[in-house]
Amino acid sequence: MAKAPRCGPYICGVDAALDVVSGKWKGLILWELDTHRVRRFAELRRGLPGVSEKMLTQHLREMEADGLVHRKVYAEVPPRVEYSLTEHGHTLNQALGPLGAWGSERIRREGSQVVDVAETAHRQPHVRSR
Amino acid sequence: MAKAPRCGPYICGVDAALDVVSGKWKGLILWELDTHRVRRFAELRRGLPGVSEKMLTQHLREMEADGLVHRKVYAEVPPRVEYSLTEHGHTLNQALGPLGAWGSERIRREGSQVVDVAETAHRQPHVRSR
DNA sequence: TGCGGTACTTACCTTTTTGTAAGGGGCGAT
DNA sequence: ATCGCCCCTTACAAAAAGGTAAGTACCGCA
């Protein structure tokens, strides 16, 4: 795993961008890191209701390899690791803005169910249709 | 399959939008339909090098259920079916614009391999890392 | 002594997604 | 007569993504 930066072949830019955001939690991780600037592992974990530690590290590692997030390890005990967006991660988030707006519109139209993170945090499994 | 319009629960708009575009060929289908306005099944097939008939119909059906594409069947023989973007499909495509630009930038940065569709059409398997 | 918190890793299993190959039914061209 | 074109469908198989549970190693608190 962690096959260095993803490497197409891509057919268009959307293709390349989607490759980097596709993953069950990546959109949310981006959002969390964008709103809080910097987050520790356990904070992210609490912010993404239902994520497992494995998936979280896996996604974070991939995003790091893709140059989207920065990982800063403090040589302390107990361990401390801080995650934040890189410049590219930040611009990606901005590029996702219109898409997010479209999605919100769609949710409004469809009357899809929306989950409030704060509300479900710590309320275990949390099934997501996919 | 074809479980009516997707229905979260979503945590944010990006989440909802990604749900609708995630699928190996959906980005390309959107792009094809946007640039050509209207396309027949076999035309789309030729435009997406490596796609199987099964995946193409599957994706088209999902996108139809999601209200992104319109499917017009002519009761002729041989059969004729025309696909085009709906209003929502069109706005989605516009929302994908910035993301596409970001992706192109990324491709430029990374020097990732890019495949020219016209060049590879009809050149069978076409492996894609995913 | 035992529990909770820190940030993970590993092995194993289930679910989802994608691919492969074949068939169908009518028609025109070779 | 056989081929290919059209737009699919179905059954089956492979691959990828995701989830569960446990283990690591050290600390502070009660």
Q: Which pTM was predicted?
A: 0.84
| CB-to-strand C contacts below 7 angstroms | A 40-42, 53-54, 57, 60-61, 71, 73, 78-81, 130; B 22-24, 50-55, 58, 77-79, 125, 128, 130
Instruction: Count the residues in chain A.
Output: 130
Please report where in the chains the tokens 């970001």 appear, as a residue.
B102
pLDDT band at A129 (very low <50, low <70, confident <90, very high): very low
All domains of chain B in start order, with CATH? 13-96 (1.10.10.10)
DSSP state of A75: -
Q: Check whether A128 has a pLDDT greater than 50.
A: no
Q: Check whether B79 has a pLDDT greater than 70.
A: yes
Please report where in the chains the tokens 């009357």 appear, as a residue.
A111
Q: Given this model, what pLDDT does residue A9 score?
A: 76
pLDDT tens across A16-40, in order? 999 999 999 999 999 999 999 999 9
Q: What residue in A sits closest to B90 (Cα-Cα)?
A: A102
- Report which of B13, B16, B11, B18 is spatially closest to residue A115, judged by C-alpha positions: B11
pLDDT band at A7 (very low <50, low <70, confident <90, very high): low
Residues 6 or more apart whose Cβ sits within 8 Å of residue B99: A13, A14, A17, A18, A95, A96, A98, A99
| Burial of A49 from C-beta contacts in 10 A (0-12 / 13-18 / 19+) | buried
d(CA B62, CA B33): 15
d(CA B28, CA B30): 5
Q: Which residues of B touch A6 (CB under 8 A)?
A: 112, 129
pLDDT tens across A94-120, in order? 999 999 999 999 999 987 667 665 444
For residue B40, how many C-alpha atoms fall within 13 Å in the half-sphere facing its CB? 8
A65 C-beta less than 7 Å away from strand D: no
